[in-house]
Copies of this chain bind each other. A is one copy, B any other.
Amino acid sequence: MSRPGSEEVRRARVWLSRAVEPGSLALHRLLATCGPVEAVRLIRAGEAPGPVARMAEARRTADRVDADLADAERLGLRLVTPEDDEWPDAALHPMEVACALDRDDLAAPLLLWVRGAARLDDVLAGAVAVVGSRDATPYGRHVAADLGHELARRGWTVVSGGAYGIDAAAHRGALVAGGTTVAVVAGGLRSPYPAGNATLFDNVAGSGLVLSEWPPDCPPHRHRFLVRNRLIAAFGAGTVVVEAGARSGAESTARRARELGRVVMALPGPVTSAMSVGTHHLIREGALLVTGAAHVLEAVGTLGVDLAPPPRAEPTARDRLDPLARRVLDGMPAREPASPDRIAVDAGVPVVDVLRCLPALEIQGFVHPTTTGWRLTPAARH
């Protein structure tokens, strides 16, 4: 819901979002100083500060605000701006910090074009970004889907891009679990990109959201994917890279996440797989190795609530013996009976300890006495 009197502000944001590519620190600062309406006036009049003027130069004479809003209405898109109640201030807070620290290319979005009915701030209240290579292997797609599924099942939103491979698998896994998933895409929402994921985007928008910073008709230029990545990184409490080659956009998302103070995680794979070179590199550079949702939630979830179980096999009856009894048991010959003296020599423990341990070992079914000495039970031989 928009606050009253904001229509002019909203139109100004739409104009600005076309005039200057997203993520600009210079425009962010100008807006902080004078607000969107005055920023538009300054740029149009050629009076904006140098960096902003330069970026907007080629586009400052155009005005497609009405056309963009009409496009959005026709396509069933909502325009969400910082003036709206559902604007995800909490999720975007690290970007404000980054801007305060002079970090370029990390400025918060001017607005978001949104497909889907869910409230943006609600959906992003507990979210994890899952990203990775388009050229994913069957292994990568499997574990991405599994991770998306498990995160969704535990009530977390999955955030990703809209690419083939890992992105699509993560969305699908979450959707299968009946979960909420958010696709942040790098071009306008008029033409789904890649077109082969059109049905997937429909499904994502059915329960979650498809988001873009670009006006509906903007093509997904290459550099826009890198700009878009900062939003994926910001929207997740942590970013998990599932598969990435030596050269992958997923690593840029991971870098953004680190710059924004988010938890960076990577999922390992076979060292023989070119698609795990990037994730292994990230782990070597400090990313947290995760093998599934339990590890992810331990890192981003509530402290002490979402602890992953340690990867321990159940202790066996032998494990539960005290070290001395275990040593006596180790000293028993495999098949023939033995006297306590002989066991003491083989095990290297005093006879008195052997005599003390044997009855306890008998009660627990490890040994039994015979007329010629003590011997292992068949079950204890393994």
Residues of A near any B CB (own CB < 8 A)? 20-21, 54-55, 57-59, 62, 139, 142-143, 219, 221-224, 245-247, 267-272, 276-278, 280-281, 283-284, 288-289, 291-292, 295, 310-313, 326-327, 330-331, 341, 344-351, 354
Contact = CB atoms under 8 A, between A and B. Distances in A.
Contacts of A326: 222-223
A139 B331 CA distance: 35
Contacts of A331: 221
Contacts of A58: 341, 344-345, 347-351, 354
B271 A280 contact: no
Given A311-B278, A350-B54, A271 B283 contact: no
Most buried by B among A57, A224, A291: A291
Contacts of A272: 139, 142-143
A77 to B, nearest CB: 21
Contacts of A247: 312-313
Contacts of A246: 311-313
Contacts of A354: 58
A330 B284 contact: no
Contacts of A20: 348
Contact of A291 (B271, B291, B341, B345): B271
The 10 A-B pairs of least Cβ separation, nearest first, read A268-B268, A58-B344, A247-B313, A271-B291, A221-B330, A57-B350, A246-B313, A277-B311, A246-B311, A21-B348
A288 B284 CA distance: 7
- Taken together, the copies of this chain in the complex come to 2
Nearest to A351: B58
A327 B313 CA distance: 54
Contacts of A139: 270, 272
Nearest to A244: B311
Given A58-B348, A246-B313, A313-B245, A268 B280 contact: yes
A178 to B, nearest CB: 24
Contacts of A278: 311
Contacts of A348: 20-21, 55, 58-59
Given A58-B344, A247-B312, A223 B330 contact: yes
A341 B57 CA distance: 11
27 contacts: A21-B348, A54-B350, A57-B344, A57-B349, A57-B350, A57-B351, A58-B344, A58-B347, A58-B354, A62-B345, A139-B272, A143-B271, A221-B346, A222-B326, A223-B326, A224-B330, A245-B313, A247-B312, A247-B313, A267-B271, A270-B270, A271-B292, A277-B291, A277-B311, A278-B311, A280-B291, A289-B289
Given A58-B348, A268-B280, A283-B289, 6 more contacts: A20-B348, A54-B350, A57-B344, A57-B349, A223-B327, A246-B312
Contacts of A341: 58
A269 B271 contact: yes
B222 A330 contact: yes
Contacts of A142: 272
A286 to B, nearest CB: 11
A270 B292 CA distance: 11
A283 to B, nearest CB: 5
A310 B278 CA distance: 10
A246 B223 CA distance: 44
A280 B268 CA distance: 8
